[in-house]
Amino acid sequence: MPEQSKTVDAALSVLTLLAGGDDQPTAASLARRLGMSRTAVARLLATLEAHGLARRMGRGWGPGLGLLTLASGIEPRLRGLARAELEDLARRFGETAVLSVREGDEAVAVDQVVGGAGVVRIHYRIGTRHPLRLGASGRALLDEHAGEVVVSEGELEPGVRGAAAAVLGAGGRPVASIALVAPAHRFPAEGEATEAVAAAARRITEGLAGPPSAGPPDTVAGGRDAVLPAGR
């Protein structure tokens, strides 16, 4: 394996903590979590801030808006086509809809729309990852489940149920999965939910197979300059 840059590794570790947490960590708390000196972390934060990837928030730090620009370049057409389907699923069922892609042996959430039903809501942080063989979103990305709707319950979080279907690319292989996720006690009637995610996945698949939209880059068809929401 090629030698890795320790500085880049440390900077990415800081970014991961900033993007994945709900708090606003200070340089001191980041240093403790990473086992680094406060001075080294402060320098990394200053560099990330200069590039718009980190920003000061009160007494702590949070992810910079520059991360949205980077995120918009990740499978922009796929995310553009999927966004309307995520919104439709969330609006129809009042539950959370999630788009995931495969990275190695893990499923990674790249977009979501949180539904408005109930006090308890399921929320995926963008970048959340889990093993492919756990959870509906992951198993739907496996070749063996291409064309199927996968249902799971309690595999990632107790009391959470999900139904997911694969978005297919060239050769009929999964390139993404779209899922409806909700507390098990109020999960929609299974037939209705599975039919809805299967139809959404099919429409996205058809969209990817067709010619790119001739519209401007900020339309639903996506574009490298489109700034897409990183979740709600």
Domains of the chain: 6-69 (1.10.10.10), 74-209 (3.30.450.40)
What is the pLDDT, as a whole number, of residue 129? 85
Is the full-model pTM beyond 0.85?
no
Other C-beta atoms closer than 10 Å to the C-beta of 51 total: 10
> Is residue 38 within 8 Å of 31, Cβ to Cβ?
yes
How do residues 117-135 score in pLDDT, each as one tens digit?
666 667 777 778 889 999 9
For the segment 162-186, the average pLDDT, to the nearest whole number, is: 91
For the segment 135-145, the average pLDDT, to the nearest whole number, is: 93
Residue for token pair 């999900």: 162
What is the pLDDT, as a whole number, of residue 69? 62
Q: The tokens of 129 are what?
A: 């990852």
For the segment 193-218, the average pLDDT, to the nearest whole number, is: 80
pLDDT(223) > 70 = no
pLDDT(227) > 70 = no
How do residues 55-92 score in pLDDT, each as one tens digit?
888 888 988 867 756 655 556 788 888 999 999 999 99
Query: Poorest-confidence range of 67-76, 86-95, 141-150, 206-215?
Result: 67-76
What is d(CA 207, CA 12) in angstroms, rounded to the nearest whole number?
Answer: 34
- Give alpha helix (H) positions in the chain: 6-20, 27-34, 38-50, 66-72, 76-93, 136-139, 190-209
Between the alpha carbon of residue 142 and those of residues 167, 200, 212, the distances in Å are 11, 18, 26
